[in-house]
Structure 1
Amino acid sequence: MADIFDVIADGTRRDILQLLLDRRTDGADGTSVSHIVATLGVSQPTVSKHLKVLREADLVSVREEGQHRFYSLAPVPLNAVDDWLVPFLDDQGETDAVIASLPESAVHAADMVGRAAASAKHAVTTVFSRWPGR
């Protein structure tokens, strides 16, 4: 599997991931290649090439219906990016000591709450950015 940082380093792949995230937030059950092509204004072969890389990195899942393929975001591999980035955001260095003192179940619960909060913040931000008149 490719290094997750190499995968997300490409701007077109990040655009595809953002589109899939936005579509998931809107309640879509997958996004067709043709929708990605039309929305991003990128050629179908280019989109297919990038989707293959994203599939191999387990960042997207694909559902086939007849001759059509629908892609959905599978963000779990991005946890590695999150895990790498968080220490850089910790100014005081106290977080690691606090986490080390907690039972594993509490660490897992805190992680889940943090991810839920980040997801909720993103959803609210997305809704308000699309609000008419803004």
Structure 2
Amino acid sequence: MKALILVLFFALLSFANDIATVEKVVLDDSKNQGALVQRGKDILPIISAGFKIKKSDIIKTFDDSKVKIRFIDNTIVYVGVKTIFEISEYFYDRKNKENNEIHFKIKTGSYKIKTGDIEKLAPKKFKIQTDNFIIGINK
């Protein structure tokens, strides 16, 4: 009985750490995958929508693959082909806006971001780090 309780506890704890969900995947036909996620020492394939993203995940797309990720604050990130996208920091708290923070790193490739609640609640804590960038703003 104690083992069952421990298993359920850790399962709930792992779901609590989900910060986003992959909503769309365009597969690279040669790899039959949309992306790989580095999560600590683990490498996990993204092959379909529904994959859960956690803080500190690093997402890598292939030559012809893309993914669309929706975070729990409704920030949407479109990760383009041949991209390495890292979630360095993510914390969302509707009640205490000073606690909110996003810090994304784009190591290579392309992306498009539609900001959600965190950018509205704590705009100075919404950070995107990249070595090279081109910015476009749509109104």
Under TM normalisation by the shorter chain, which class is it?
under 0.3
More helix by share: 1
* Bigger proportion of residues as strand: 2
Taking CA–CA contacts closer than 8 Å with sequence separation of 6 or more, which of the two structures ends up with the larger relative contact order? Answer: 1
